[in-house]
Chains A and B, each alone.
Chain A
Amino acid sequence: MKAVIKGIGLVAPGLESWQQAQPVLAGGQAYEAAPLEKLKPAMLPPNERRRTTQLIKLALQAAEEAQSTSGIDAATLACVFASSDGDTFIVDRLCDALTLPDRPVSPTQFHNSVHNAAAGYWAIASGSQRFSTSISAGAASFAAGLLDALSWVAAEQQPLLLVCYDVALPAALDAFGINHEPFAVALVIAPEGEGGIATLELQGVDSATRSPVGNEALAALRSANPAAESLPLLQAVAAGSSAAMNVAYLDEATIRVEVKPC
């Protein structure tokens, strides 16, 4: 399967946006981890923004950067939202509330607890009534998101927004899971044909050695969030190079993906 990357969005510690991160990922500038700046996805009105969570804001901020660089009308984009864990801060709050007398569960937190909350807010903010799905494949969520997105674009021949994102776990759950840094990456991908940033081709599912990120600090970031498995792909695109890479999938499996500048 082959498609074109039309837009990219990124939010991670020290990589505040795709635009800011490109020279770092291309290797020209050193990577320095830094706490995330306050998340402010512009498409949510301030009153809606207050009612949403860090996870939703993280996903939407990456999504809107990818959509705006793609130049494709947000209302015409289908979407795949891939997150290993979903909203663990809400899980933390709900499970805490459920230990208290009368179980004071917040209705807003409960409706925001669905795994597709970020996709739901994206649909409301963008006005898109198109196809939307929200998935998890645990540690393999980035590769699974790519497979899901590419198979949809192949079937429908329409553009699609893929967002892969997770926040760091709340303190109580930190020792039990795999998310230790926030990371969100978004790709607008479209059928081949009308220009774009790079072509993206799935070459197969295999059991190969994961491609390196070639930088200790970025390697540490990659191991701290499933969405950061996108880093080798982002590095190749930022460098404007043609490269094939092995992206971690389930267990020992990898998917082989090739990118080429347009």
Chain B
Amino acid sequence: MSPALPIISHYTLANALGSGVAASLSALRSGESGLRRNDYAHASLETWIGRVDAVEATAMPQVLADFDCRNNRLAAHCLQQDGFEGFVAAARERYGAKRIGIFLGTSTSGIEETEAAYRERDAAGKLPTNFHYMQTQNIFSLADFVRRYLGLEGPAQVISTACSSSAKVFATASRYMAAGLCDAALVGGVDSLCLTTLYGFNSLELVSSEKCRPWDAERNGINIGEGAGFALLERAEAGDDRPALLGYGESSDAYHISTPHPEGEGALQAMQQALGRAGLESAAVDYINLHGTATPSNDRSEDRAVTRLFGAETPACSSTKGLTGHTLGAGGITEAIFSLLCLEHGLLPGSANTQTLDPELGANIVLEGREAPLRYAMSNSFGFGGSNCSLIFGRAES
């Protein structure tokens, strides 16, 4: 294991399962899905979605009113869970505001605000003057809001590589810390419901009218979810046994913008790199949280990659997209935190909504969740543009 990789001292999340760690942990144990029939305003699509109820009621600080949009509200709401803001404040005291970096992922930022502004164009086609494009729609908006909200002044950027965005934040933060550009890092990701992704994925015929069924013989597409998650990364201390990032791998398919490589080539490389960096043999991995979107092509491609690397007897695998929906740019952090929860509580979560496994796929899918001691968990995230990221978590001294 590379000694430079950070430990994860605190984390929090919010998604369709509820807000805060307890709600997600409970669903990982029970397998109860947070998906609901689509009731998102302005969208009449027949599908299921993952929605965070508290977003509309979340108040934004007055001084940051220009940043008000669904994505930044979801960020603020999530930061308010599990005492996380207090942990960030303590880290700010310890390291100094300028020494904490901020690396956040999103795919669509605050585009819901732009969609609304276009509906409100005047006769000349002008957008309303109270539209705050830079604070809401601009891709950096999320990190810009969060750094102001938390009073952090370190290096900051948004990583936007579609559905791998908030997995890659762990790797970026590790490099910034290794380079001495910061001493600690806030990583995370937020993506929120909008018409763009609902109708966009629908135009590609990738949205399911049912609850999504990863690895199922009858799987027929994704459910879009919204979600947010944040984690605080710090350097490991001597004798540290806290949860840690042990390895990461990042690769490109170089194949197609919206179709994964049929043999899972890029996914395979990302997982191999992660294992190499962690100094682990493939047999050491106890659990893989799959990207598992439930589109026919994603699951086939990922299955090829997993079985090529791990052989016929793969580690226990599951996709948790049936619990939360596909939270896109927030999927990486959501499933990284799920993996950390599984490690901490000794859980192998089931693949919610999966009924009949596709006989053409070979990964060892957990259908009913169970308890099992875990040492090493891998989390996969793959995105449009052929962007792949695989993470491995365990204990710092493991």
**A interface, CB within 8 angstroms of B:** 1, 83-86, 91, 94-96, 98-99, 103, 105-107, 110-117, 119-121, 123-124, 126-138, 140-141, 144, 147-148, 150-152, 154-155, 171-173, 175-178, 205, 250-251, 253
Contacts and interface: CB of A to CB of B under 8 A. Distances in A.
B200 interface: yes
23 contacts: A94-B200, A95-B111, A103-B199, A106-B203, A111-B257, A111-B258, A112-B257, A120-B385, A124-B256, A124-B386, A128-B252, A131-B252, A132-B387, A133-B250, A134-B159, A136-B158, A137-B156, A148-B172, A155-B175, A172-B126, A178-B134, A250-B155, A250-B156
B63 to A, nearest CB: 15
Given A132-B250, A144-B155, A113 B127 contact: no
Nearest to B127: A172
Contacts of A113: 196, 200
Contacts of B60: none
Contacts of B134: 138, 176-178
A98 B161 contact: no
A91 B108 CA distance: 10
A114 B159 CA distance: 11
Contacts of B202: 105
B87 interface: no
A114 B382 CA distance: 13
Interface stretch (B117-125, B224-232, B372-380): B117-125
Interface of B: 98, 107, 111, 114-115, 117-119, 121, 125-127, 131-134, 137-141, 143-144, 147, 153, 155-162, 168, 172, 175-176, 178-179, 181, 195-196, 199-204, 250-258, 265-266, 269, 383-387
A69 to B, nearest CB: 22
B298 to A, nearest CB: 14
A151 B200 contact: no
A131 B119 contact: no
B386 A155 contact: no
Contacts of B195: 98, 103
B179 A131 contact: no
A106 B153 CA distance: 40
A128 B255 CA distance: 10
B127 A123 contact: no
B196 A111 contact: no
Contacts of A136: 138-140, 157-158, 160
A124 B111 contact: no
Nearest to A172: B127
B386 A99 contact: no
A175 B126 CA distance: 10
Nearest to A141: B140
Contact of A99 (B118, B158, B181): B118
Contacts of B159: 133-135
Contact of B254 (A127, A140, A144, A172): A127
Contact of B203 (A84, A107, A119, A121): A107
A134 B172 CA distance: 11
B139 A110 contact: no
Contacts of B118: 95-96, 98-99, 172
A62 B100 CA distance: 33
Contacts of B385: 114, 116-117, 119-120, 123, 134
Contacts of B168: 133
A111 B114 contact: no
